[in-house]
Every structure is written in C-alpha cells, then in structure tokens.
Amino acid sequence: MLDHDAAQIETMRRFGWRAFYGDATRLDLLRTAGAEQARVPVPAIDDVEQSLKLARLAQEHFPQLAIVARVRNVQHYLRLREIGVRLIERETLDSSLMSARSALEQLGWQPHHARAIAMHFRRHTIRQLEVLLPHLRDEARCIAVAKAGHQQLEQLFADERQRRRQGRREGWSDEPPPKND
C-alpha cells in the first residue's frame, strides 16, 4: 500500500501490512513499494489528474502491471479508458445497484428478479460507456449515442417486466430436466 495519509499508513502497519507513505505518482516511491515485482496495482485516487498521471507512469515503467483502477465517476472512467486502462470499477455503481435491488425487493420483486435487473443495468451502463468512448470529442454524437442507449435501456426494462409477469427467471427454465434412460 502506498498512501499520502500518514494516519492510514500507521493503521495499516499496526495490522501487519506493508505500507509506504508518499505520493504514488513518484517513480522512486513506486519502485520502493515494489512495483517492479507487483502484478496488479489498484489505484484508488480521487483526483482525476493524479490518477491519470499514475496510470501513465505505471504503463510506461511497469508494463507487466494489470491496472485495476477505482474511479469516482463516469468522466474519470472515460479518461482512464482513453489512455488504455481496461480494468476499471466505478466507486458508487455497485453500491447504487445493490440499493436499487433492495428497493425493488421492498416493492415486492422476488430477489432473483431484482438481482437480474440490477445486473442487466450494470452490463448495459458499462457497454454504453464503451460505445461512447470513441466519440468523446464529438458532443452531437455523444448525445445521439446516449439517447440510443436510453432507448435500449427502456427496452431492456420492458423485456424484464414481461419476463416477470410471465413468472420466468433469467437463465432459468420451467421445463423439467431431461431424463437419463
């Protein structure tokens, strides 16, 4: 762990973790922290510019690293994707989806249906960001892509409502399993 919060470093060390104090965008500190032997760093830097700086530094000096970045928002996600970071998790996406799932369950949805719709939404939103990526410098195209994505999402929700009304589970079949003779 490499962090600029001295209290966090001290806490991690008390629990037996190797932790280093300093600016993660400094090449010497990355080397001291073991970046040359590392396989998967997980940058969790709120400042977008610092996050980009670290990703570029890691890509240039430690090409063996498979960066798994935690980002604050869509803009942060897109900026990292632009420079080639492929494994990105949005900080609030999954907790928002789990909150939505809980809300659906409280509204009477079966847990498997609530989970299915949350996972459909997750896949859709990530796919939409990837479709949007090549058009970031073209506002009109971004708007058109976003509108098309919204229509696709509405259709996805309509399909899910239809499956729910029919009592079908995503990935489940009401047919009995084949008999082994």
| Residue range 106-115: mean pLDDT, rounded | 91
Query: Which of the residue ranges 82-86, 106-110, 129-133, 161-165 would you say has the lowest mean pLDDT?
Result: 161-165
Across the chain, what does the average pLDDT equal? 89
| CATH number of this structure's domain 1-91 | 3.40.50.720
How are beta strands 68-71 and 20-21 bridged, if at all? unpaired
Query: Which of the residue ranges 85-89, 93-97, 130-134, 154-158 would you say has the lowest mean pLDDT?
Result: 154-158
Among candidate residues 31, 43, 37, the one with its CA nearest the CA of residue 64: 37
Report the alpha-carbon distance of residue 84 to residue 68 in Å, rounded: 12
| Residue range 64-82: mean pLDDT, rounded | 94
Q: What is the pLDDT of residue 173?
A: 44
pLDDT of 142 above 50: yes
Among candidate residues 93, 50, 41, the one with its CA nearest the CA of residue 69: 41
Residues across the chain: 181
Q: What is the pLDDT of residue 163?
A: 78
Q: What is the pLDDT of residue 177?
A: 47
Confidence at 181, pLDDT banded by 50, 70, 90: very low
Q: What is the pTM of this model?
A: 0.79
Q: Delimit the domains of the chain by residue range.
A: 1-91, 93-169
Q: What is the pLDDT of residue 10?
A: 94
In this predicted model, what pLDDT tens digit does every residue of 10-30 receive, in sequence order?
999 999 999 999 999 999 999
| Residue range 108-119: mean pLDDT, rounded | 90
